[in-house]
Chain A
Amino acid sequence: MGFDVGVIVQSLPFLMQGLGLSLLLTVLAAAGGIVMAVALALMRLSGITALSLIAAAYVNFFRSMPLILVIFWFFFLVPLMIGRPVGGFYSALIAFTLFEAAYYAEIVRAGIQSVSRGQVAAGYATGLSYGQTMRFIVLPQAFRNMTPVLLTQAIVLFQDTSLVFVVSLRDFMTATTIVARNEGRLIEMYLFAAAVYLVICLAGSLYVRRLQRKFAR
């Protein structure tokens, strides 16, 4: 049996639908995760013991759990809480957002801490409130510093979205598997999947490296 490219070409529309879902999940979970992460990081650095403990507990808890277990948790939990089945996408989106928030929170915290303390002091000295100092002075600089790391984490997240396979949500990986099994072409399909992920992630990390060089200047 030779290497059959035809099976890939033939199923391309179906596979691209899957890839679209993977990318959508990545973008939404990254956006939601970063928003939560900013809140967690500000809590952690707030100097208010209770808030900072809650944030630390959240981060450490999610960082000690395997992502697959989190996906199973929400796949089981979300329908139970809402009282009706909602489909795999929303439970996966919630799982990824909450899980990634823990990883993004550490990045955002490091980003905020990379802004020199004098900036905060200067903000207060000009009469800005805490919220204003964060909004207009600290966070813009922090985000500039951490953009490359945030993007790198997004690439990791994109790779991780393949795990929705375990709840049969039709992302790129699941779509590949469906075709591979229906057509009996496991070799072609999994090599193709590897190539697609490799190209996307490599392109992403090369872009991040260029960005880093630009920022370092």
Chain B
Amino acid sequence: MHYNWNWGVLWQEPYLGWLISGVGWTLAVSVAAWVIAFSLGSVVGVARTLPNRWVAGAATVYVELFRNIPLLVQLFLWYFVVPELLPADWGRWIKRDMPLPEYTTAVVGLGFYTASRVAEQVRSGIQSIPRGQSMAGYASGLSTAQLYRYILLPVAYRLIVPPLTSEFLTIFKNSSLALTIGVLELTAQSRQITEYTFQGFEAFTAATVIYVVITLTVTAGMTLVERRARMPGFIAGGR
């Protein structure tokens, strides 16, 4: 195997700058997409557990639709197809005037996709609460909205901290797909450095190390949160 090692390339300009900006875009995509995924996923997940059959049905359709189409296809649909299918004015605005078109599309696509996964976690969290709690809530005169607000959701969210952490890490890793529509995030930058310098080992190693370090940091941070969120008496933990 012939390979000319040159770790110094990582510290040279412009390559160091590329890596740093790649990390920035990766985090920017992940965090913004997570905001969509968490809020929309919460709404859809709650909707799936509601007594109204139509609402629950619509939420189920959402989840099945977004879970069973590959994320890459969804990104391309958002990027190439949706602007054409919208009313002409909107389509023109998206193509011409929308700020940061690639970034925005990646955030929306990743957010809507991950929302379906978050929804499943929220639903399973709510459904893992013993039925007696809902019955007790209704018996004491709470409305459905109050039942969710005061009884079900506070417990459900504490139960699903660990799976939500791994969903966030999934979004963080999946943000690399943004490169397919032209966002120069971390993976894209490491490939670009490889193409410019042929130092693939160094560039991919740098990206790998950064991904692993961020994953470990998030995991460690969330372990602290999990410890505080755990509830005695539930399967998901507690002493």
* Contact of A165 (CB < 8 Å), options: B72, B77, B80, B81: B72
- What is the minimal beta-carbon distance from B195 to any residue of chain A, in angstroms? 10
- A198 contacts partner chain B, Cβ-Cβ < 8 Å: yes
In whole angstroms, what is the CA distance A177 to B73 when docked?
10
A35-68 toward B: CB 8 Å interface, digit per residue (1/0)?
Answer: 0000000000000000000000000010011111
**Is the Cβ of A163 less than 8 Å from the Cβ of B177?**
yes
Say yes or no for B180: interface residue by CB 8 A criterion. yes
Cα(A163)–Cα(B71), bound, Å: 9
Q: By CB atoms of chain A within 10 A, which of B1, B68, B85 has the most?
A: B68
Closest residue of B by beta carbon distance from A69: B187
Least distance between A177 CB and chain B CB atoms (Å):
8
B1 touches A194 (CB 8 A): no
B interface SS class: helix
In this assembly, does A23 line the interface, its C-beta being within 8 Å of a C-beta of chain B? no
B191-231 CB contact bits vs A (8 Å, 1 = yes)?
Answer: 10010000010001001100110011000000000000000
B21 within 8 A of A: no
**Among candidates B80, B179, B212, B216, residue contacting A65 with C-beta atoms closer than 8 Å:** B212
Given contacts A64-B211, A69-B208, A83-B1, contact A162 B70 (CB under 8 A): yes
Q: Which residues of B contact A201 (CB under 8 A)?
A: 67-69
Q: CB of A159 within 8 A of chain B?
A: yes
A69 touches B77 (CB 8 A): no
Q: Known: A76-B200, A81-B1, A163-B177. Contact between A198 and B212, CB under 8 A?
A: no
The residues in B between 104 and 120 inclusive whose CB is less than 8 angstroms from any CB of A are none
Within 8 A of A (CB), among B158-189: 169, 173-177, 179-180, 187
Residues of B near any A CB (own CB < 8 A): 1, 3, 64-65, 67-74, 76-77, 80-81, 84-85, 169, 173-177, 179-180, 187, 190-191, 194, 200, 204, 207-208, 211-212, 215-216
* A-B contact list, 15 entries, CB within 8 Å: A64-B212, A64-B216, A66-B211, A69-B207, A69-B211, A72-B187, A83-B1, A159-B70, A163-B72, A173-B73, A191-B81, A194-B69, A194-B73, A198-B69, A205-B68
Q: A180-B80, A201-B68 are in contact. List 14 more A-B contacts (CB 8 A).
A: A65-B212, A66-B211, A68-B179, A83-B1, A155-B68, A166-B180, A173-B70, A186-B81, A191-B77, A193-B76, A194-B73, A198-B65, A202-B68, A205-B64
